[in-house]
Chains A and B, each alone.
Chain A
């Protein structure tokens, strides 16, 4: 299975490593032409403002919407979660609008408030180590969205059809179960 990682900015190599550990093939994606060969794509952590700008600059905005509309899987982590959200609180413009949710940026505070913790995730048997770095939160979800994980009653992981999103960074640990979950999601949508 070929999984792209959008390589405009952010933690790209880490995601590729995790895809490979989970048994997929990871590819850094810098050009829209590369989307055709992919079974799914990961939008990595980084700075959402920067990634949002570069997505538009290089024609990824429409191409990625189409990619998702064709039923191909998309996984956004941290900044990537903001990129897939329908609405960003305090901001007029959203990006890909692939998931029916309202999100807020830097919801936990500044870098000194960044943290890691063990977090239960629906569909994964034991808790995963979740690393939150200037992380966003999902404030509200629509009826189609399945909540996969919460931290102190706030939503930090969710899924809608072929789109998966987490506030935290599964790629910064050695635990590849979130990536394996994503690969399973792709297999399930194919059947």
Chain B
């Protein structure tokens, strides 16, 4: 009997496919998310738009938030640790978090090294803007990836950019001959073996979800259309006018992302989505996607 194998960790992410993972800040929101059909919840003190508004250093949530949420839902519960913060991650593992997000939404604890995720029994999800970053995270042991997008903006443009870029780079890698892969590995700063996998299989070895800026059912469906395996919704649900309706509608649009009549139907009378931010209005230091490398 073996725990924490790569298959067990990646398998957990496979089970999330086609689903929506929702940020929640307390037990009550967690119940709403589960009732709406979330496949997992992310327990945190503040959703990204609040982190943005509050400023200062954003850290791992108070463990009681995670514990409260774990008590009330039967779906997996995820939690965020700062990039490179080994101890926050160990604490979350000790508390029983089902998945750890080494997240750029929090202030990085280390500007050089990410966590060696292979050393953990619980799986990790990490953000990635391009294929080099994606493969470096997988090499460190990430069992799941997500686009970074620009969290807390309610603006899908960056998530789209990242997903398109990764998909395009996968097609490019497939088109190379095997001997060209060595140079490409150097260009991308990614391990050769990971590139070889993509060359042979035409896909990443782990699932890749969309995250960062999903605010409407159509946003979620767009990301699925572009090839996401599922969707993370942060501020988009509990910063909207009607979280219950938004949550249900986003789940349905994700399941049936090619059924445009259905998406139209579930998008009716939802009330106001979260208020968005135009990306060009952000100062360089406010761009969360630039954290991590």
Q: Tell me if A112 and B255 are in contact (CB < 8 A).
A: no
Chain B contact surface mostly = loop
Contacts of A26 in B (CB 8 A): none
A7 to B19, CA, bound (A): 11
- Are B15's CB and A46's CB within 8 A? yes
User: Is A78's CB under 8 angstroms from B76's CB?
Assistant: no
Question: Which residues of chain B from 74 to 107 have a CB within 8 Å of any chain A CB?
Answer: 74-76, 93, 96, 98-99
Q: A50-B37, A50-B39, A116-B8 are in contact. Are A172 and B256 (CB under 8 A)?
A: no
Q: Tell whether A49 pairs with B74 under 8 Å between CB atoms, given A111-B98, A115-B2.
A: yes
Query: Counting chain B CB atoms within 10 Å of each CB, which of A13, A45, A50, A78 scores highest?
Result: A50
Number of A-B contacts (CB under 8 A): 107
Contact present for A11 and B17 (CB under 8 Å): yes
B41 smallest CB distance to A (angstroms): 11
Given contacts A10-B18, A49-B74, is CB(A115)–CB(B11) below 8 Å?
A: no
A-side contacts of B39, CB under 8 Å: 9, 46-47, 50
Nearest B-chain residue to A114, judged by Cβ: B8
Interchain CB contact under 8 A, A110 and B17: no
Bound-complex Cα distance A7 to B39 (A): 14
Are A131's CB and B96's CB within 8 A?
no
Q: Does B161 make an interface contact (CB < 8 A)?
A: no
Q: Decide if B2 touches A9 in the complex (CB within 8 Å).
A: no
Decide: A47 near B40, CB < 8 A? Known: A112-B93, A115-B1: yes
Which of B8, B37, B121, B256 contacts A133, CB < 8 Å?
A: B8
B18 touches A8 (CB 8 A): yes
The residues in A between 120 and 161 inclusive whose CB is less than 8 angstroms from any CB of B are 131-134
The size class of the interface chain A forms with chain B is 35 or more
Residues of B within 8 A of A134 (CB): 12, 15, 76, 98
Contact A8 B7 (CB under 8 A): no
Cβ of A179 within 8 Å of any chain B Cβ, yes or no, is: no
| Minimum CB–CB distance for A81 against chain B, Å | 13
Q: Do B19 and A47 touch (CB < 8 A)?
A: yes
- Please tell me if the beta carbons of A114 and B12 are within 8 angstroms of each other in the complex: yes
8 Å CB contact of A116 from B2, B18, B121, B123: B2
**Is B38 touching A45 in the complex (CB atoms < 8 A)?**
no
| A-contact 0/1 string along B1-25, CB 8 Å cutoff | 1111101100110111111000000
Which of B7, B18, B96 is the most central at the interface, judged by chain A CB atoms within 10 Å of its CB? B18
3 closest Cβ pairs, A-B complex: A111-B98, A47-B39, A9-B18
Chain B interfacial positions (CB closer than 8 Å to A): 1-5, 7-8, 11-12, 14-19, 34, 37-40, 70, 74-76, 93, 96, 98-99, 121-123, 251-252, 255-256
Q: List 24 A-B contacts (CB under 8 A).
A: A9-B39, A10-B17, A12-B18, A30-B255, A30-B256, A47-B16, A47-B19, A49-B34, A50-B37, A50-B251, A57-B252, A78-B15, A79-B15, A111-B12, A111-B122, A112-B4, A112-B93, A112-B98, A114-B8, A115-B1, A116-B2, A131-B8, A134-B12, A172-B7
